[in-house]
Chain A
Amino acid sequence: MKNRRSVPLPSKLSPKKEKEVPLQGIWSGTISFSLVAIPVQLVKAVEPGRVSFRMLHNKDYSPLLRRMVCPEEGKIIPPEEIIRGYEIGPEKYILITDEELESLSPERSRTIEIVEFIATEDLDALYYDHPYYLVPLKGGEKAYRLLVEVMRRTNKAGLAKFVLGEREYLVAVKSRSGALSLITLHYSEEILPSEDIIPKTEESEAVEKSRLKKIIKAMTANFNPDKYADERRQKIVKLLEKKAKEKAPVEAPEVEEEEGEGAVDLVAVLEESMRKVKRGR
């Protein structure tokens, strides 16, 4: 994809082949199989390519943030004053704290225990939810590499369960180009049945099928993901480039920086920073 611009736009708009992004630790803990334990950190494996916009206040162009508001008072409520509640009746709630959630599966909130291995070809993409990478933490490099190599040689994936945040996931751990990838999976009870969709009969015209196969053969090629571009994204980028040339951007007023959104694990970030420090030393 060629990107011809006269006004330089931030790098997030310029498409790159398989992104190089700074790593963001989401979780850190241990991955284990039988008696081998490997300290690891969970990081993103995909970054959405959509052009992302911010909502602004049209009065002063100050960015808008998503916050929890008390509807009666119209006031923003800070995180320390917020608690999670499960509704058991009209305006009746059972309150659940973070510690109580974490203590539901204490062994699983810091450990991904691989309970069995399966052949990778048996893992149906129907179950795939979201992919991540695992990177080894200090001391775990050798055991990590062993697991990667052994899964590659046997063409297998590991199945495990682990808890992240409020949810417990079934995950597949796979080997990809020398790294471990972790894919969260849907539970089989979440997969909708398809029996009523599948045609009751397999009937087809033999002639049609043979013609079809000829066409398919003629259209067979090697898979190259770079061939396909997000057209909508390209159109939006063009639109933005045009705007950048025509008008100066508006400026938002200085705001005191708020605490970051999103539950990024402190420990994961520290471990990631530590890696960078050690590389520099």
Chain B
Amino acid sequence: MGKIAAVAGHRLSLSNLEKDLYPAYGFTKAHILEYYRRISPFILPHLQGRALTLKRYPEGVEREFFFEKRCPSHRPDWVATAEIAQTKGERLTFCLVNDLDTLIWVENLASLELHVPLARAASPATPDSLVFDLDPGEPAGILECARVSLILRDLLSQLRLASYVKTSGMKGIHVYVPLNRKATTFADTKKFSKAVAEVMQRNYPDLVTAKIAKEQRRKKVFINWSQNDAAKTMVCVYSLRAREKPFVSFTRTWEELEALAGRGDPEKFHVLPEEALRRAEKSGDLFRDLLVKKQQLPYL
């Protein structure tokens, strides 16, 4: 069932609004669109100017999904795009979610998850930030990730680097270090994050691994430093995740994270859309500084 909506100046045809995309939880497309509409002031600054990779679940989270890098050719003409050269040399056209219309249009395509690179499309070889993607190997989980992220934060503080943290919305935690300098390259961020990951592994060998091999990751938190790459993407902050429940990749203050880790209940880390909206509307975008703070990686 379709609907024509006037969204912020453009006319969009919205479809399948009653479709339950999170059947076990009861979250329909309409709910999803409503969430993204309300979270848009907070999420848009983090999407603007970045080559979007859509993760589409047209039949809901329990069915097939597909990644879509190439901006769908049937897009409205007002959707902004950028052409970016890929690793093999071919140039791909990506969608840029620069405004609410485009966000709604993308969500109408059931792109429940929004993934973006660490660099903006205008300068794809210059990362604005460095990320530590903490990924737990069973039976380790988000609690162990929280522990690791707190140690990481202390280590980064010693180097006078401010860092910001969010849950991945699944079992992991992402720690970001804003850089925002033209001179930074992915070679720099990769080298730095790898060195940090290896030092963490050496000092906490039972808790942390810097190695990608699956056997090495059991029971440990894998610090995936290789995400610092022009060809890689991270789930955008405030994006929904396609799990049984629509958890949000949500920001935490370090104090909150410390308290959560102390309480020891993994469930308390997860944020559902209602709570995400309430918190964001109350405290604003905790990741705002990630976009503007200038920092330099030392000792490279």
Contacts and interface: CB of A to CB of B under 8 A. Distances in A.
A273 B202 CA distance: 13
Interface string B186-200: 000001100110111
A276 B199 CA distance: 13
A265 B158 contact: no
B154 A260 contact: no
Interface stretch (B25-33, B42-50, B113-121, B292-300): B292-300
Interface in B152-201: 154-155, 158-159, 191-192, 195-196, 198-200
A257 B202 contact: no
Contacts of B198: 267
A5 interface: no
**Which among B155, B195, B199, B203 has the highest number of chain A CB atoms within 10 Å?**
B199
B70 to A, nearest CB: 33
Contacts of A266: 191-192, 195, 299-300
Q: DSSP class of B's interface residues: helix, strand, loop or mixed?
A: helix
Contacts of A269: 159, 298-299
B199 A277 contact: no
B151 interface: yes
A264 B200 CA distance: 19
A259 interface: yes
B158 A277 contact: yes
Given A266-B192, A278-B203, A257 B296 contact: yes
B97 to A, nearest CB: 32
B199 A259 contact: no
A276 B296 contact: no
B174 to A, nearest CB: 20
A80 to B, nearest CB: 9
Nearest to A262: B299
A240 B300 CA distance: 35
Given A269-B159, A280-B154, A281-B154, A274 B199 contact: yes
Interface residues of A, number: 20
A181 to B, nearest CB: 24
Contacts of B199: 267, 270-271, 274
A96 B300 CA distance: 20
A274 B159 contact: no
Nearest to B150: A281
A214 to B, nearest CB: 59
Q: DSSP class of A's interface residues: helix, strand, loop or mixed?
A: helix
Contact of B158 (A260, A267, A276): A276
Contacts of A259: 296, 298, 300
Contacts of A264: 299
B195 A270 contact: yes
A152 B61 CA distance: 67
A281 B159 CA distance: 17
Interface in A242-281: 257, 259-260, 264-267, 269-271, 273-274, 276-278, 280-281
Interface string A35-75: 00001000000000000000000000000000000000000
Contact of B196 (A39, A137, A270, A278): A270
A254 to B, nearest CB: 14
Contact of A273 (B155, B192, B296): B155
Given A274-B199, A277-B151, 7 more contacts: A259-B296, A269-B159, A270-B199, A273-B158, A274-B155, A277-B154, A281-B151
22 contacts: A39-B202, A137-B202, A138-B202, A257-B296, A259-B296, A259-B298, A259-B300, A260-B298, A265-B299, A266-B191, A267-B198, A267-B199, A269-B159, A269-B299, A271-B203, A273-B155, A276-B158, A277-B154, A277-B158, A278-B203, A281-B151, A281-B154
Closest 10 CB pairs of A and B: A273-B158, A270-B199, A266-B299, A277-B154, A138-B203, A274-B203, A266-B195, A269-B299, A277-B155, A264-B299
